[in-house]
Structure 1
Amino acid sequence: MNKIEFRGVGKVYPLGADTMTALSSVDLGLADGEFVTVVGPSGCGKSTLLGIAAGLVTPTSGSVTVDGGPVTGPGPDRGVIFQQYALFPWLTVRGNVEFGLKIAGIGKAERRARAQRYIDLVGLAEFADALPKTLSGGMRQRCAIARAYAADPRVLLMDEPFGALDALTRVRMQDQLLDTWSRERRTVLFITHDVDEAVYLGNRVVVMAAGPGRVQEVIDVDLPYPRTEQTRLSPEFAALRNRVWRAVYHQPTQQPPHQPAQQQTHAKG
């Protein structure tokens, strides 16, 4: 049984007298401990797919399960990390990481120990007592990752978490994330618009197509871990990158953005 599974997932949004089909008949399974990246053109429904997995968006058709149980709303079995850091500015790094544990009723000693473990894991031990405003963008995102890990979710859902970072920080964060994942082996669904990032991080790359949003192709990434700068420079990486690039950007012409209600339109992504 897959850790997380989408079965026939569709999402249709009302649009005045018309409708917009964001997703259509998506079937996808993620194995336990697998790192799956999702990439596709604008409007292919990537973020809608993640929102459904997070329980923040209700599918119009189909279902999503985690460990065989249906997703009916947000839950502690899924940690969600967005592009915006969403840290409490008045709390320190430690306070932010401990916050969800405190809400869950975990005792002070245990939540302090658990928070410290993940603060150390993401390399923020020296900044545990710092406020978010004193941290760089990459450090804030590491704090958000530590907070998600500390809640002990079975699945991590990440929606373009490095999209707002500069190129160098983004590369460093990718390496940091893979290092953390290699130690913990959580199941990760990672949404991105960056082909290089999708190939570098994932065990598999899911290429979405728009008009309506659907899975066009799933590409295995047979590059060994740990991945390094040499991985990025290898001919094997280049070949995979080119294959994913062609799958994303050489898609058939999309349908017009708005059509009558009885027809499908392009996705929200």
Structure 2
Amino acid sequence: MTTNTAPGAGQPAKISVQEVTKTFALGRETFTALDRVSLDIADNEFVTVVGPSGCGKSTLMNVLAGLETPTEGRALVDGAPVSGPGPERGVIFQQYALFPWLTVRKNVEFGLKTARVPRAERRERAEHFIRMVGLEQFADALPKMLSGGMRQRCAIARAYAVNPSILLMDEPFGALDALTRVKLQEQLLDTWSKEQRTVMFITHDVDEAVFLANRVIVMAARPGRIYDVIDVDLPYPRSEEFRLSPQFAALRNRVWHSVYHQDGRTAPATSPAPSVTPA
């Protein structure tokens, strides 16, 4: 069971975003995608990020992934500035990003092969994570033979296989049908409880944000900034009963109102992260 409690004294954040501003040139003008965003995320915490289109959710993830450089401010992982992509950060996109000419097994092994992991260890680790996401019967199948949900499970297995301490997930279930999406949400939480990771999960779906998270970060647009931070102080594991509970409904309504009825206020610049211990 997971609990949300106050962080220990002096406990460093796993991820720390400090006054990050990101602007882009648009012809002779500039567009501010992020405006002085600050956020701390604890080790093994599961944080979801929601907000209206154009609020900078994906830009924030790209900064943490090392794919974008802040115009001002900085992002830290384990106290070290992010200066580019790194093996401690696994990134999962909505588009699966699988190699179509490689089997499920070879896709999951790809990062390990790049890291020169010996063949026997590579195969063992790949098999472990393929079983973990329930694709053992499809290990020799090509991506074109898989459903959308199965492809995303393969992408999740590949990300886990290289043993990152952080998973950055940009709307990974956004293109899936509702039933598949619900099943993958439950499977993701089951995997998270077994394989401890810090997760930042971007979504447009308020129900998904509440179901998955220890905390929901609500962003506002133009310019992109943190608008609200909502604790989901309810235990794991979470199931269909949780989705139908009054507590879930109350949290969902609060997040929905915060996303779609924004009044111009802004949450405190620095949001403390709880100490989280997955089941």
Once the two structures are TM-superposed, the CA of residue 211 in structure 1 deviates from its matched residue by 1.5
- What is the SS of the residue equivalent to 2:40? strand
- In the alignment, what sits opposite 2:207? 196
Counterpart of 2:48 in structure 1 is 37
Q: Does 1:164 align with 2:163?
A: no
Question: What does 1:96-245 align with in structure 2 at a 5 Å threshold?
Answer: 96-245=107-256
SS in 1 for 2:173: coil
Q: Aligned AA for 2:242?
A: T
Q: Quote how far apart the aligned CAs of 1:252 are.
A: 3.5
Residue aligned with 1:156, SS: strand
Distance in structure 2 (CA, Å) of the matches to 1:88 and 1:42: 29
Give distance in 1, aligned partners of 2:62 and 2:107: 23
| Amino acid aligned to 1:36 | V
Amino acid at match of 2:118: G
Query: What displacement does 1:3 show?
Result: 0.6
Q: Which residue of 2 aligns with 1:22?
A: 33
Secondary structure of the residue aligned to 1:180 is helix
Tell me how far 1:251 sits from its aligned partner.
Answer: 1.1
Runs of 5+ unmatched residues, structure 1: 254-269
Listed one character per residue, the Cα deviations across residues 178-219 of structure 1 (whole Å, up to 9, x for unaligned) are: 110010120000000110000000000000011110001110
* TM-score, normalised relative to structure 2: 0.90
User: Aligned residue pairs: how many?
Assistant: 254
Unaligned runs of 5+ in 2: 1-11, 265-279
Q: Corresponding residue for 1:53?
A: 64
1:16-58 Cα offsets, whole Å, 9 max, x none, are 1111000011110110000000000111000000000000011
Query: In structure 2, what is the Cα distance between the partners aligned to 1:213 and 1:2?
Result: 22
Q: State how far apart, in whole Å, the 2-side matches of 1:224 and 1:230 are.
A: 12
Q: Secondary structure at the match of 2:19?
A: strand
Task: Kindly indicate whether residue 59 of structure 2 is the aligned counterpart of residue 11 of structure 1.
Answer: no
Match of 2:260 among 224, 235, 249: 249
Q: TM-score, normalised by structure 1?
A: 0.93
RMSD (Å) for aligned C-alpha atoms: 1.1
Deviations 1:205-240 (A, max 9, x none): 000011110001110001210000000000000000
Q: Structure 1 runs of 4+ off > 6 angstroms?
A: none
Q: For residue 245 of structure 1, what is the amino acid of its counterpart?
A: W
- Quick one: distance in 2 between partners of 1:99 and 1:211? 39
For 2:195 and 2:112, the matched residues in 1 are separated by: 19
1:92 counterpart (81, 90, 103): 103
What residue is the counterpart of 2:7 in the other structure? none
What's the counterpart of residue 266 of structure 1? none
